Amino acid sequence: MDETTGVPMHEHEEVAIARTEALFREVNERIAESAKRFESHEAEFVCECSDPTCVHRIAAPLDTYESVRECGTQFLLAPGHADERVERVVRERPRYAIVEKFQERVAALVRSLDPRASTA
């Protein structure tokens, strides 16, 4: 991946991306909770991409979701929704992609907003 292209990102932009993705993650935490309550093995998650207007739904196994959540910098996205300025795809399936933040400031922000951080 070419890291030299593109203009440097502004801090407010990085904060906005981190907040948006952290918000979608909160929504998915609730979805996962209720799926577990109904002993379901799969759930319809929202796409955790950086676009605040994204309404994409992703059907994924709960196990997959849990493995994403083990890492505070990993997110579950619809395929093709990764923002390559801040994240790279670590796993891709027909229905979803898992990304990891490599952009330092965004990674630090999402880690600080991780609802499961207290257990880490």
Q: How far is the CB of 78 from Zn ion (least distance, A)?
A: 5
CA distance 10 to 13: 5
Q: Which residues of 11-35 are buried (b: 16+ CB within 10 A; e: fewer)?
A: eeebeebbebbbebbeebeebbeeb
Residue 47 engages Zn ion in binding (rule: CB under 5 A): yes
CA distance 44 to 42: 7
Burial group, residue 87, by CB count within 10 angstroms (0-12, 13-18, 19+): buried
Residue 54 engages Zn ion in binding (rule: CB under 5 A): yes
Q: How far is the CB of 82 from Zn ion (least distance, A)?
A: 9
Residue 25 engages Zn ion in binding (rule: CB under 5 A): no
Q: How far is the CB of 58 from Zn ion (least distance, A)?
A: 9
Nearer to Zn ion, 59 or 117 (CB): 59
Q: How far is the CB of 80 from Zn ion (least distance, A)?
A: 9
Residues, the chain: 120
Residue 49 engages Zn ion in binding (rule: CB under 5 A): yes
* Cα Rg, the chain, nearest whole Å: 14
Region near Zn ion per CB under 5 A, out of 6-14, 17-25, 29-37, 46-54: 46-54
Region near Zn ion per CB under 5 A, out of 25-33, 34-42, 71-79, 105-113: 71-79
Q: Which residues bind Zn ion (CB under 5 A)?
A: 47, 49, 54, 56, 78, 81
